Structure 1
Amino acid sequence: MSQRFIVTKEHRRFTEFADAVRRGHTIGLCFGPAGVGKTLSARRYTRWDKAHDLLTYWGPRSDSDAKIYAVLAKSRTVLYTPSVLTTPRALKDELDQAIARTNICIEQHITPAGQIAPQTWGWRHGKNYVELIIVDESERLRPTALELLRDRYDRDNIALILIGMPGLEKQFTHYPQFYSRVGFAHQYRPLGKDELLFVLQRHWRALGKTIDPEDFTDAQAIAAIARITRGNFRLLERLFPQIERVLKINELDTITNDVIEAAAGTLVIGTS
């Protein structure tokens, strides 16, 4: 990610939720509007930005991979995002592969060098170290895929989190065998007023500026951003490159309400 991750209250709440699901060996549901940060939190929790390439392309090992092994040994979590057309068979195969490769990496971290052959080691052939599976975009799952995940949860004692849009918690009530195993539900909310100001301070600093809520111009700017984004993290991240662009084009130095309105005019902003 090009932007430095900002630890918000909602991310901390997500981390506490994920830890509770993992410790309790249960199933958790996380739901919230698009763009509030659910996927960012899941990727941060699993350190997936560090591990994704190694686990996906699975090429020759290098000494630098040891850092990724350590990260996976700490998280013991797999992040999986089904495609729109993912079949239950593909879901099973892809999850098996992700878990097997993660186990190999963890084994590499905890076992002295030379005592394991990664080419022959795999899921079902050794100890499982994965304690949690997080499935993003889980509205895409078909009923058979949900049953497959429930069966894996029952058989392998791996905790499970499903992430999706509002209404996810109601959707799964139609599957009593699955829903009866849900231990936690977590609503991921947009940024509140104080957190929005905290994030804006980071963005102002990135542009070499300072923000003062007591200053009338800055207060107007804050109010405009709050109204336009409604605390939506993704929309906020999309808005600031346009603010920077408007400042440069017009050779301006101050982020004003007019600058923000001009920047917002270049974006397609829908309701969520």
Structure 2
Amino acid sequence: MTGHRMGNFIATKEHRRFVEFVTAVRKHRYIGICFGPAGVGKTVSTQRHAKWDKAGPLLDIWGPRDRSDMIAYKALAQSRAAFYTPMVSEPARQTRDNLSRLMTHIEGCIELAQHPERRLPDGKGPDLIQLLVIDKAERLSAQALEHVRDLFDRTGIGVILIGMPGLEKRLERYPQFYSRIGFAHHYRPLQGDELTFVLTRHWRKLGMTLDDADFTDHQAVASIARITGGNFRLLHRLFVQIERILKINELSLVTDEVVEAARSTLVIGAT
């Protein structure tokens, strides 16, 4: 249901804008939608905010408890959020059951964080979950959306749907759901100075220093920007190949030729 590999997280301006959006949805208890191209960082930002790197593995593999689980309990008590990714073509009944189970488990974890002396939660804690985030929301059927709307109406928690561009147009076809949307956030790729900042981090990981006054570095940066379009996922994949090519050829500079060689090993569409 979830993914937990966040790598070395970079708090970009887009991530901070996303956090402001999430905070507004949580505070005002609306439904919010977040949309953007694949690979720009929507899921990673959400999991970071929900502390899913600490809590997700425990919730995915629900078994006998261990003392170390208190780390996950405390993370959930701090985030007060549930993160869910539906399966492809998931039936509405399965979505309903999975959400119910997930939220029950989270509520129990939060109770145990708040009352560590208890061996089992009593299920009486009020308002324990403040936010439900559903990733890849395009997978939700019309019936599943109706269940999410009913859950929102009954519990009063904030709800965020995350998906690709066009999600907002699809939701317009469901007036009862659409009328409850209070906030929308367009998650955009890296651009300008922020892209340079992230590339500087990548250069540093390679043991190099990016100099924007150096023509070779400037040319390489321009090629990377053109190839990736500021997409986080493509940047990571491209630099994996750049590092490989540098090592194989015993090179000490990221040049335009190195970038193009790395690009040729990837399937990333037209540039």
TM-score normalized by structure 2?
0.95
Q: Tell me what 2:71 maps to.
A: 67
Runs of 4 or more, structure 1, over 6 Å off, are none
1:223 has 2:222 as partner: yes
Q: 1:104 aligns with which of 94, 105, 108?
A: 108
2:111–2:125 Cα contact (<8 Å) kept: no
Aligned with 1:202: secondary structure?
A: helix
TM-aligned CA deviation for residue 60 of structure 1: 2.1
Aligned to 2:191: 192
Q: CA RMSD in A?
A: 1.4
Aligned to 1:157: 156
Secondary structure in structure 1 of the residue aligned to 2:172? helix
SS in 1 for 2:160: strand
Secondary structure of the residue aligned to 1:267 is: coil
Contact 1:103 1:128 in 2 (8 A): no
Contact 1:70 1:106 in 2 (8 A): yes
**Aligned partner of residue 67 in structure 2, secondary structure:** coil
Q: Secondary structure at the match of 1:64?
A: helix
Gap runs ≥5 in structure 2: none
Q: 5+ residue gaps in structure 1? A: none
Letter of the 1:253 counterpart: S
Residue 108 of structure 1 and its aligned partner are, at CA, apart by 0.6
Residue 2 (structure 1) shift: 6.5
| TM-score relative to the length of structure 1 | 0.95
Q: 2:168 maps to which residue? A: 169
CA contact (8 A) 1:139 1:168 kept: yes
Residue matched to 2:213? 214
Pairing 1:80–2:80 present:
no
Give the letter for the 2:120 counterpart: A
> Hey, what does 2:24 align to over in structure 1?
20
Q: Which residue of 2 aligns with 1:257?
A: 256
Please say if 1:117 is aligned against 2:156. no
Shift of 1:270: 2.4
Instruction: State the distance in 2 between where 1:271 and 1:252 align.
Output: 27
Q: Deviations over 1:99-154 (max 9, x none)?
A: 1111111101111413x524xx45xx653400110000001111111111000000
Aligned length: 267
Bigger Cα displacement from structure 2, 125-134 vs 251-260: 125-134
- Taking a change above 3 Å as real, the CA distance of residues 188 and 2 of structure 1, as seen in their structure-2 partners, is closer
Identity %: 57
The equivalences for 1:230-249 within 5 A come to 230-249=229-248
Sort the Cα spacing of 1:38 and 1:271 in 2 relative to 1 into closer, same or farther, 3 A.
farther
Kept after mapping to 2: 8 A contact 1:29/1:186: yes
Whole-angstrom CA distance in 2 between matches of 1:112 and 1:161 = 30
Structure 2 CA distance, aligned partners of 1:65 and 1:208? 37
Q: How far apart, CA to CA, are the structure 1 residues paired with 2:125 and 2:258?
A: 59
